[in-house]
C-alpha cells in the first residue's frame, strides 16, 4: 500500500473537516469566478436581496438615524486611508520604502493636528515620532476606521503633539509591489514573519528616522504587528538603539491555538495543509467578493460568527455601528506562508523562525536532534510595555513573559478581547491613557532599569 503522510495521524472527524474544507474552497472559487464575470446590475440585485432579508429578520434597528450611524456610514464607504482621515479633518502624507530584498512598502504619516496641514511635507517636524504597525490580514486603515476621533489612537497621538507614522506589510493593499516579482507570481508571496523581521520593520524604521531626523522613535504594534517587533528587535541588536519604547497591544508571540478544536488539531498536525487549501499566494482573497454582495450588517454578522467559532471572541465591547464600519476595512492581503508560520509556532509552542523542514510531530523523539531557530526575544534591550485583554484567547501572558526580558511591564485590561483593544467602546478610557503614559515615560530615549514584570 502506498504511503499516505496523513494516514494514521488524523481521526475520522479530522478527515471529515479536511474534506469539507476542500469542498468549501472549491465552491468559493467557483462563486468568485462567476461573480467576476457578472454585470454590476446582477451584483446589485444580490446586494438588494440581502438587504430585504436583513429587514425581514428584524434588523431595522441598525438603520435608525443617529450620530454614530452617520459616522459609521462615512467610514463604511471610505475607499482608502486618506478618505478615512478626511472624515475627521486630518491631512496625511504617503511615503514608499524600498526594502533590501526589493519590496515597496507604503507608509502613511499624520504630521499635523486636525484642520492643519504641514507647511513642508516630507520633512522633519521636530516632534517626537511614533510608529504604529497593524496585525495579520490587516493594513494601516484599521487604526483610523473608528466612529469617534477620540477613540482612534493615531488621531489622539497627533493631538498630543506626536509625528505619527503607520506601516504596512509587504503584500497588503498599500504594499502590493516588488521590483523583482509580480503579485501574480507565487514567488512574490513567498514570505513569512521572518521577512517582516529581517526587512520590513527595520527598513521602515530607518526610513522614518532618516526623514524626520529623529534619533529614536516609539513603536506601537497590534497583534502580529507586535510579533514582528519582538522578532525584529531580537535579531537586530542595533535596532534596539533606534526604538525608545515598544508598546504591544494584544501582543502575539506563541498563541495556544484556535477555539475550534477540529481545525486547531488539524492545522497543528500538518500546518502545510494550508498550502493545499489556499495555494502559495495570498490567503482569503475572496473576502472582498463577499463584502460586495452582502448588506453590511449581514457581512458583519458573518465576521462575528467566524471570530466566535475560531477564537471564541464575543465582541461585546465593540458597538454594532463600529463593527459594520470597521469590518469593511478589516481584511487585507497576506501570504498563505505567513499563516502556515503561525500554525508552526502554535504546534511547537515556541516563537521560532519559519520551519522549512517541517518534520511531522509523530517521528520526533523526546530528545530531538532538530528544532527551528527561535527568535532570541530575551535579548531585547528596548523597554517593553504589554497591554493585553484578560479575555483574549490568543494571549497567554505568563508564557509570553517567560520568553521576554525582565524589564517587560504587562498591564491587564479587564474583559477585553483581541479586537476590543483597537475598536472597543471605551478604548479612550481603558487603553489610550496607558499608551500615552508609556510614551511620555520613554520618549526621551532613556532606558528603564530593573523594571519588574507585572500582570
In tens, the pLDDT along 23-41 reads 665 655 555 555 555 566 6
* Torsion of Cα atoms, 152 then 72 then 83 then 291, to 10°: 110
CA distance 219 to 206: 13
Q: What is the pTM of this model?
A: 0.86
Instruction: Please say whether the beta carbons of 428 and 317 come within 8 A.
Output: no
Quote the pLDDT of residue 38: 55
Cell of 254: 506563541
Do 422 and 315 fall into the same domain?
Answer: yes
The values of phi and psi at residue 96, to 5°, are -130, 130
Q: Is residue 276 in some structural domain?
A: yes
Of 392, 407, 430, 442, which is the active-site residue?
392
Cell of 213: 531626523
**Chain segment 382-417, per-residue pLDDT in tens:** 999 999 999 999 999 999 999 999 999 999 999 999
Of 321, 341, 407, 418, which is the active-site residue?
418
CA distance 265 to 281: 24
CA distance 229 to 239: 10
Calculate the alpha carbon distances from 61 to 58, 294, 317, 321 in Å.
8, 18, 19, 11
Give percent of the chain above pLDDT 90. 64
**Chain segment 307-322, per-residue pLDDT in tens:** 998 899 999 999 999 9
Do 30 and 144 fall into the same domain?
Answer: no
**Chain segment 120-162, per-residue pLDDT in tens:** 899 999 999 999 999 999 999 999 999 999 999 999 999 999 9
The values of phi and psi at residue 130, to 5°, are -125, 135
Of 192, 223, 226, 335, which is the active-site residue?
223
Q: 285: domain range? A: 65-360+372-442
Instruction: Please say whether the beta carbons of 362 and 224 come within 8 A.
Output: no
Point out which residues pair with 389 in neighbouring strands. Answer: 413
CA distance 87 to 49: 30
Q: For residue 55, what are the contacts with CB-CB under 8 A and spacing of at least 6?
A: none
Do 313 and 408 fall into the same domain?
Answer: yes
Q: Pick the closest to residue 87 from 98, 76, 95 (CA basis).
A: 76
Whose cell is 519559519? That residue is 354
How many domains does the structure of the chain reveal?
Answer: 2
Do 252 and 152 fall into the same domain?
Answer: yes
Do 27 and 82 fall into the same domain?
Answer: no
Do 172 and 23 fall into the same domain?
Answer: no
Question: Average pLDDT of the chain?
Answer: 86
Calculate the alpha carbon distances from 34 to 23, 347, 437 in Å.
17, 37, 52
259 has pLDDT over 50: yes
Q: Is residue 366 in some structural domain?
A: no
Instruction: Please say whether the beta carbons of 286 and 298 come within 8 A.
Output: no
Do 33 and 161 fall into the same domain?
Answer: no
Quote the pLDDT of residue 264: 76
Q: Is residue 6 in some structural domain?
A: no
Residue 39: count of CB within 10 angstroms of its CB:
8
Quote the pLDDT of residue 451: 38
Helices 261-269, 336-348: axis angle to 10 degrees equals 90
Instruction: Tell me, yes or no, if 223 is annotated catalytic.
Output: yes
Instruction: Please say whether the beta carbons of 189 and 282 come within 8 A.
Output: yes
Mean pLDDT computed over 178-206: 97
Mean pLDDT computed over 238-243: 98
Q: Is residue 167 in some structural domain?
A: yes
Do 108 and 33 fall into the same domain?
Answer: no
Helix (H, G, I), strand (E, B) or coil at 324: helix
Do 269 and 156 fall into the same domain?
Answer: yes
Quote the pLDDT of residue 411: 97
CA distance 288 to 364: 41
Q: Is residue 54 in some structural domain?
A: no
Mean pLDDT computed over 164-185: 96
Do 142 and 40 fall into the same domain?
Answer: no
Q: Is residue 303 in some structural domain?
A: yes
Q: Is residue 52 in some structural domain?
A: no
C-alpha angle 319-90-116 in degrees, rounded to nearest 5 = 145
Do 108 and 17 fall into the same domain?
Answer: no
| Domain harbouring 294, CATH code | 3.40.50.1820
Do 32 and 125 fall into the same domain?
Answer: no
**Chain segment 346-386, per-residue pLDDT in tens:** 988 899 999 987 655 545 555 556 778 999 999 999 999 99
CA distance 30 to 47: 19
Cell of 148: 469617534
Q: For residue 373, what are the contacts with CB-CB under 8 A and spacing of at least 6?
A: 352, 353
Residue 308: count of CB within 10 angstroms of its CB:
14
Instruction: Tell me, yes or no, if 434 is annotated catalytic.
Output: no
Instruction: Tell me, yes or no, if 392 is annotated catalytic.
Output: yes
* H-helix or E-strand spanning residue 224: helix 224-235
Q: Is residue 428 in some structural domain?
A: yes
Amino acid at each position: 500500500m502506498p504511503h499516505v503522510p496523513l494516514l494514521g495521524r488524523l481521526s475520522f472527524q479530522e478527515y471529515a473537516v479536511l474534506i469539507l474544507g476542500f469542498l468549501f474552497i472549491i465552491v468559493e472559487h467557483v462563486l468568485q469566478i462567476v461573480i467576476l464575470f457578472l454585470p454590476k446590475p446582477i451584483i446589485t440585485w444580490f446586494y438588494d436581496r440581502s438587504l430585504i432579508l436583513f429587514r425581514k429578520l428584524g434588523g431595522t434597528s441598525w438603520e435608525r438615524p443617529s450620530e454614530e450611524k452617520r459616522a459609521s456610514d462615512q467610514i463604511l464607504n471610505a475607499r482608502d486611508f486618506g478618505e478615512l482621515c478626511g472624515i475627521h479633518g486630518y491631512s496625511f502624507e504617503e511615503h514608499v520604502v524600498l526594502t533590501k530584498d526589493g519590496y515597496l512598502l507604503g507608509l502613511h504619516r499624520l504630521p499635523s493636528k486636525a484642520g492643519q496641514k504641514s507647511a513642508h511635507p516630507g520633512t522633519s517636524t521636530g516632534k517626537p515620532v511614533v510608529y504604529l504597525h497593524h496585525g495579520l490580514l490587516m493594513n494601516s486603515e484599521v487604526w483610523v476606521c473608528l466612529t469617534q476621533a477620540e477613540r482612534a489612537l493615531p488621531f489622539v497621538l497627533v493631538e498630543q503633539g506626536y509625528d505619527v507614522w503607520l506601516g504596512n506589510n509587504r503584500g497588503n493593499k498599500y504594499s502590493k509591489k516588488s521590483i523583482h516579482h509580480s503579485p501574480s507570481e507565487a514567488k512574490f508571496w513567498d514570505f513569512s514573519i521572518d521577512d517582516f523581521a529581517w526587512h520590513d520593520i527595520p527598513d521602515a524604521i530607518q526610513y522614518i528616522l532618516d526623514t524626520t531626523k529623529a534619533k529614536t522613535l516609539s513603536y506601537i504594534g497590534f497583534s502580529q504587528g507586535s510579533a514582528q517587533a519582538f522578532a525584529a528587535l531580537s535579531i537586530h541588536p542595533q535596532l534596539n538603539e533606534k526604538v525608545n519604547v515598544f508598546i504591544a497591544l494584544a501582543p502575539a508571540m506563541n498563541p495556544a491555538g484556535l477555539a475550534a478544536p477540529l481545525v486547531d488539531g488539524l492545522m497543528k498536525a500538518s500546518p502545510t495543509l494550508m498550502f493545499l487549501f489556499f495555494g502559495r499566494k495570498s490567503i482569503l482573497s475572496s473576502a472582498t467578493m463577499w463584502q460586495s454582495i452582502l448588506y453590511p450588517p449581514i457581512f458583519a454578522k458573518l465576521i462575528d460568527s467566524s471570530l466566535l467559532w475560531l477564537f471564541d471572541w464575543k465582541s461585546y465591547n465593540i458597538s454594532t455601528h463600529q463593527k459594520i464600519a470597521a469590518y469593511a476595512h478589516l481584511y487585507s492581503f497576506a501570504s498563505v506562508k505567513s499563516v502556515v508560520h503561525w500554525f508552526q509556532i502554535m504546534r511547537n509552542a515556541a516563537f521560532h523562525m519559519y520551519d522549512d523542514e517541517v518534520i511531522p510531530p509523530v517521528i520526533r523523539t523526546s530528545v530531538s536532534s532538530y528544532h527551528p531557530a527561535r527568535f532570541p526575544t530575551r535579548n531585547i534591550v528596548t523597554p517593553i510595555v504589554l497591554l493585553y485583554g484578560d479575555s483574549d484567547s490568543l494571549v497567554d501572558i505568563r508564557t509570553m513573559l517567560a520568553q521576554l526580558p525582565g524589564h517587560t511591564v504587562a498591564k491587564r485590561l479587564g474583559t477585553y478581547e483581541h479586537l476590543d483593544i483597537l475598536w472597543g467602546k471605551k478604548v479612550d478610557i481603558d487603553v489610550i491613557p496607558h499608551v500615552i503614559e508609556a510614551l511620555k515615560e520613554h520618549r526621551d530615549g532613556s532606558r528603564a532599569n530593573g523594571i519588574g514584570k507585572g500582570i
